[in-house]
Amino acid sequence: MSSATDTTAAPAFGLDRDEALTLYRRMRLIRRFEETVQLLFQRGEVPGTTHLYTGEEAVATGVSSTLGPQDRIAGTYRGHGHALSVGVDPQALLDEMLGRETGVCKGRAGSMNVIDLSHRLIGCFGIVGGSIAAATGAAIALKRSGGVAVAFFGEGATNQGYFHECLNFAKVLNLPVVYICENNLYGEFTPMELVTAGEIRKRAETLQLGAVTIDGNDIWTVRAAAGAAVERARAGEGPQFIEALTYRHVGHSRSDPGAYRKPGELDEWLKRDPLKLARAGIIERYDADDATVDEVDESVEQQIQEMIAAALAAPFPTPGPVAEFKS
């Protein structure tokens, strides 16, 4: 069992320049996707509700970059970033947000319940902690095939029965599953220190899972920690646990202004915006400059504008049963 708290930047984990820029591009795409969803929601184009991943892009991107085709992930109701991190088609995902027939689930899933098995996403779950149970179950099958299951969940889920029962079950059966706690400090509108006793990581350590706490805003740190955890799980060393310290830049959902935040807290976290850290890391570690990264930003912006136009023009579903989903 390993136990550590690591908030320092890790090596680039074997990435070359193009691969590093690809990871940055995915983070930028997630950021602009979420900003676009928020804009379209405010215009009345997105039915239901939305929970944005803005500010947490390094976690999903870093973790998913270590996975292979045999692996699976389970996301949360804040799952757009999880979906995009494993390559779900951005256009199909945006179409889904708008309830269109061309959506990844043919307009029936909406924001919180996306599934795309063809891209290793076994589901995003509106039930708090649901992703933990889903990934644990998937790991039973993956143990035979050499795959690893990954569960993304917020710190609030660690106070749910799912968390304790599934981690215990996974340890007893030595399942290949990696639990990623995206600790953004707030369970909806409540500061976690008001409702959570002790340290979250130590809950996993008590069950003898390999466990670390890391800087979830630094993609290089996330990728290094996730890569090591996935390797251990795949090698038969049992379930692993990562507490990634991060922060959502927006409210819990919809039009929540986040008035419950401590004064100055958001400003301090914005100084460590995952995109700023990733940009700085690329310029520092590779033969790149601001203009190189700006080209990536411009490419994403063009893609987003084309996606908006296509999504708004896409047809709504015809009432009736869905003939076929992706598999």
Round the average pLDDT of the chain to a whole number and report it. 90
Residue 318 lies in a domain: no
Q: What is the pLDDT of residues 36-75, one digit of tens each?
A: 999 999 999 999 888 899 999 999 999 999 999 999 999 9
Residue 322 lies in a domain: no
In three-state secondary structure terms, 7 is coil
Name the amino acid, one letter, at 310: A
Residue 51 lies in a domain: yes
177-to-127, 134, 162, 182 alpha-carbon distances in Å: 19, 11, 14, 16
State yes or no: pLDDT of 248 exceeds 50.
Answer: yes
Residue 132 lies in a domain: yes
State which H helix or E strand residue 34 sits in.
Answer: helix 17-42
State yes or no: pLDDT of 187 exceeds 70.
Answer: no
State yes or no: pLDDT of 215 exceeds 50.
Answer: yes
State yes or no: pLDDT of 194 exceeds 80.
Answer: no
Q: What is the pLDDT of residues 300-324, one digit of tens each?
A: 999 999 999 999 999 999 887 665 6
Residue 152 has φ and ψ, to the nearest 5°, of -95, 140
Q: What is the pLDDT of residues 39-50, one digit of tens each?
A: 999 999 999 888
d(CA 306, CA 300): 10
Q: Is the pTM of the predicted complex or chain greater than 0.85?
A: yes
- Structural domains counted in the chain: 1
Picking from 14-18, 89-93, 308-312, which range would have the lowest pLDDT averaged per residue? 14-18
Residue 61 lies in a domain: yes
- The encoded tokens of residue 249 equal 């830049």
Domain assignment of residue 202, given as a range: 3-312
Residue 5 has φ and ψ, to the nearest 5°, of -120, 120
Average pLDDT over residues 168-174: 98
Q: Would you say 167 and 241 are in contact if contact means Cβ atoms under 8 Å apart?
A: yes
Q: What's the CATH number where 206 sits?
A: 3.40.50.970
Residue 276 lies in a domain: yes
State yes or no: pLDDT of 20 exceeds 80.
Answer: yes
Residue 201 lies in a domain: yes
Question: What secondary structure letter does DSSP report for 125?
Answer: E
Instruction: Tell me the Ramachandran region of residue 47: left when phi exceeds 0, alpha when psi lies from -120 to 50, beta otherwise.
Output: beta
Question: What secondary structure letter does DSSP report for 245?
Answer: E
Local confidence band at 181 (pLDDT 50, 70, 90 cut-offs): very high
Residue 319 lies in a domain: no
Query: Percent of the chain scored above 70 by pLDDT?
Result: 90
State yes or no: pLDDT of 195 exceeds 80.
Answer: no
Average pLDDT over residues 120-134: 94
Query: Percent of the chain scored above 90 by pLDDT?
Result: 72
